[in-house]
């Protein structure tokens, strides 16, 4: 890299100024305050040493056309002033001061510092620190970019650290930034770190890992404590093609969520096979809400006017179908006591259905069955007693009345048991009648035989 060196020219002007001020210091105050040394040119320019002025300070004045003048004065600090007064004693306005401690101060209402060069690269500013093997530079090069770079003192090998393009893009680690801020850094290194002033050990970082081979973690954005990156981070993986990347979300050093390149989301798995796959030893899915209604899960199918919902409403969990216009039908309700209602929101039994039920088969768990009817000690009422009960109540013994069934419904298990009981009782009645009929037939046959013998004896 090229360095503009104006040290020689600057040194000459400084030497001249110092010699002039040294000469002034040798003249008694009375002499130079009243008898300034002055020389003029033919066009009105003048070179004046210590013209009379109210401050009685040694100074050097360079003026043109009798009144515009630059003044360098020894005011304990070395000052540079400008005066447009015809009075040679007018000290003008202070613009620059070199203090006795070596600090350079600039003053003025216009631009503070203007450094300009006719060199093709646009000039250069350089900082050198005693004892340091390298120095910092700022310059503008021919392609228009402003660059901050470090350069070795001995071999002038330089490295561009920050680049500013004319379009406003800034590059760190790159000389051709493609964005407002473009950072290039090496593998397994931090690109940016954002830390808290109150607790600097905690910081947000962006990190470059590696881009080879395919399907590896390439970049990371996360929170770290010191050098420990296990607080949590987002991993960006390079896929096998230009658009085949995928994401990982990690806490405590372990990836918890994976979003694959096809859009599948995995929780507890890095290879999800569905739009959402949950895998883990703890409860798989927990959805919780602090709202009054307890939260809601909704399923929508494309090209349909209805969608399914599950939510907690008041004292029940409900499955309901909702139209796009907001009208809904509560299909299934679960109460806190365990009762389930289909077609009803207030089931009074473990399962209550308001509507028809169609099934290929129903199995009822019944505690007893009417085998007791065949027992020897079973008391079978007579047909006369049965007839009297029917006439009195309008239904068979043990059966509920029509009013009870209409009001409370019928217990299928109990009703089926009673039906089987009455069938078995009817069977016993039929058997008894069969025996009676057979006895009557036998008696009738005997009577016919006796009648036949009597007729033959005559």
* Residue 458: inside a domain: no
Give the residue, 195 or 273, on which the prediction is more confident: 273
Q: Report percent pLDDT > 70 for the chain.
A: 76
Which of 202-206, 214-218, 287-291, 393-397 has the least mean pLDDT?
Answer: 287-291
Residue 280: predicted pLDDT: 75
What are 143-184's pLDDT values in tens digits?
888 888 888 877 767 788 899 998 999 988 888 888 888 888
Are 140 and 101 found together in one domain? no
Is the confidence at residue 447, as pLDDT, over 70? yes
C-alpha–C-alpha distance, residues 16 and 10, integer Å: 10
pLDDT digits (tens, 9 = 90+) for 52-86: 454 555 667 666 555 567 788 888 888 888 887 76
* 253 shares its domain with 147: yes
Q: What is the pLDDT of residue 50?
A: 54
Average pLDDT over residues 271-276: 90
pLDDT at 427 exceeding the cut of 70? yes
How many domains in the chain? 4
* Residues 420 and 347 occupy one common structural domain: no
Q: Mean pLDDT check: name the lowest of 35-39, 258-262, 380-384.
A: 35-39
- Residue 388: what pLDDT? 94
Report yes or no on 33 lying in a domain: yes
Indicate the DSSP class of residue 373. Answer: G
Q: Among 1-10, 68-77, 267-276, 345-354, whose mean pLDDT is lowest?
A: 1-10
Answer whether residue 126 is part of any domain: no
Provide mean pLDDT across the span 281-295.
Answer: 63
Judgement on whether residues 392 and 431 belong to the same structural domain of the protein? yes
Integer Cα distance of 19 and 59 in angstroms: 12
Query: Above 80 in pLDDT, residue 11?
Result: no
Of the residues 234, 250, 278, which one is the last residue of a structural domain? 278
118 is a domain residue: no
- Among 310, 327, 353, the domain boundary falls at 353
> What percent of the chain has a predicted confidence (pLDDT) above 90?
27
- The parent domain of residue 143 ranges over 136-278
Regarding whether 270 and 238 lie in a shared domain, the answer is yes
User: Are residues 170 and 274 both part of a single domain?
Assistant: yes
Which region, left, alpha or beta, applies to residue 295 given φ > 0 means left and ψ of -120 to 50 means alpha?
left
| Domain assignment of residue 185, yes or no | yes
Residue 384 has pLDDT above 90, yes or no: yes
pLDDT recorded at residue 38: 53
- Phi first, then psi, for residue 307 (nearest 5°) are -145, 155
What pLDDT does 190 receive? 80
Least confidently predicted of 105-119, 124-138, 153-167, 325-339: 105-119
Clarify whether residues 274 and 306 are in a common domain.
no
Q: Which has more confidence, 57 or 303?
A: 303
145 and 274 assigned to the same domain: yes
Q: Which of 72-76, 77-81, 87-91, 318-322 has the lowest mean pLDDT?
A: 87-91
Regarding pTM above 0.95, the answer is: no
The confidence band for 337, taking pLDDT boundaries of 50, 70 and 90, is very high
- Are residues 325 and 224 part of one domain? no
Name the domain boundary from 353, 381, 399: 353
Same domain for 441 and 396:
yes
Mean per-residue pLDDT, 422-437: 92
Is residue 113 included in any domain, yes or no? no
Q: 311: which residues sit within 8 A by CB, 6+ positions away? A: 293, 294, 295, 296, 297, 317, 318, 320
Asked if residue 192 has pLDDT above 90, the reply is: no
What 3 state SS string does the chain have? CCCCCCHHHHHHHHHHHHHHHHHHHCCCHHHHHHCCEEEECCCCCEEEECCCCCCCCCEEEEEECCCEEEEEEEECEEEEEEECCCCCCCCCEEEEEECCCCCEEECCCCCCCCCCCCCCCCCEEEECCCCCCEEEEEEECCCCCEEEEEEECCCCCEEEEEEECCCCCEEECCCCCCCCEEECCCCCEEEEEEECCCCCCEEEEEEECCCCCCCEEEEEEEEEECCEEEEEEEEEEECCCCCCCEEEEEECCEEEEEECCCCCEEECCCCCCCCEEECCCCCCCCCCCCCCCCCEEEEECCCCCEEEEEEEECCEEEEEEEECCCCEEEEEEEECCCCEEECCCCCCCCEEECCCCCCCCCCCCCCCCHHHHHCCCCCCCCHHHHHHHHHHHCCCCCCCCHHHHHHHCCCHHHHHHHHHHHHHHHHHHHHHHHHHHHHHHHHHHHHHHHHHHHHHHC
* 252, part of any domain: yes
Same domain, 145 and 266: yes
| Residue 337 placed within a domain | yes
Q: What is the mean pLDDT of the chain?
A: 79
Residues 80 and 141 in one domain: no
Residue 24 has pLDDT above 70, yes or no: no
Q: Are 381 and 392 in contact (CB under 8 A)?
A: no
């Amino acid at each position: 890299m090229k360095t503009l060196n104006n040290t020689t020219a600057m040194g000459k002007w400084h030497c001249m100024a110092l010699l002039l001020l040294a000469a002034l210091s040798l003249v008694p105050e009375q002499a130079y305050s009243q008898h300034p040394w002055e020389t003029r040119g033919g066009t009105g320019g003048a070179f004046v040493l210590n013209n009379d002025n109210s401050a009685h300070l040694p100074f050097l004045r360079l003026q043109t056309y009798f009144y515009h003048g630059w003044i360098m004065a020894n005011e304990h600090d070395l000052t540079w002033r400008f005066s447009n007064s015809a009075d040679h004693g007018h000290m003008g306005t202070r613009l620059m001061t070199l203090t006795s401690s070596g600090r350079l101060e600039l003053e003025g209402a216009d631009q503070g510092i203007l450094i300009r060069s006719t060199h093709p690269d646009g000039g250069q500013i350089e900082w050198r620190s005693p004892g340091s093997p390298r120095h910092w530079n700022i310059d503008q090069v021919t392609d228009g970019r402003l660059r901050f770079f470090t350069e070795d003192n001995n071999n002038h090998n330089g490295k561009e650290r920050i680049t500013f393009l004319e379009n406003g893009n800034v590059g760190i680690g790159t000389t051709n930034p493609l964005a407002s801020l473009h950072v290039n850094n090496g593998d397994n290194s931090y690109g940016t770190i954002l830390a808290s002033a109150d607790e600097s050990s905690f910081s947000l970082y962006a990190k470059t890992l590696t881009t080879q081979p395919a399907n590896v973690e390439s970049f990371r954005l996360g929170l770290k404590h010191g050098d420990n990156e296990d607080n949590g981070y987002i991993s960006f993986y390079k896929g096998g093609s230009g658009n085949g990347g995928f994401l990982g979300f990690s806490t405590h050093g372990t990836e918890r969520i994976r979003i694959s390149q096809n859009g599948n989301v995995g929780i507890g798995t890095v290879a999800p096979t569905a739009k959402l796959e949950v895998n883990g030893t703890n409860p798989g899915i927990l959805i919780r809400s602090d709202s009054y209604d307890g939260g809601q899960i909704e399923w929508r199918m494309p090209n349909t006017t209805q969608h399914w919902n599950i939510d907690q409403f008041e004292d029940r969990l409900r499955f309901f179908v909702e139209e796009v216009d907001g009208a809904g039908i509560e299909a299934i309700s679960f109460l806190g006591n365990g009762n389930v209602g289909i077609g009803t929101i207030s089931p009074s039994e473990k399962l209550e259905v308001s509507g028809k039920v169609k099934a290929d088969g129903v199995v009822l768990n019944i505690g007893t069955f009417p085998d007791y009817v065949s027992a020897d000690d079973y008391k079978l009422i007579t047909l006369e007693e049965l007839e009297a009960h029917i006439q009195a109540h309008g239904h068979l013994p043990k059966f509920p009345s029509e009013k009870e069934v209409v009001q409370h419904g019928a217990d299928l298990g109990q009703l089926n048991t009673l039906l089987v009981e009455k069938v078995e009782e009817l069977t016993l009645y039929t058997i008894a009648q069969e025996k009676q009929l057979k006895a009557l037939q036998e008696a009738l046959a005997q009577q016919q035989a006796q009648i036949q013998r009597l007729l033959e004896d005559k």
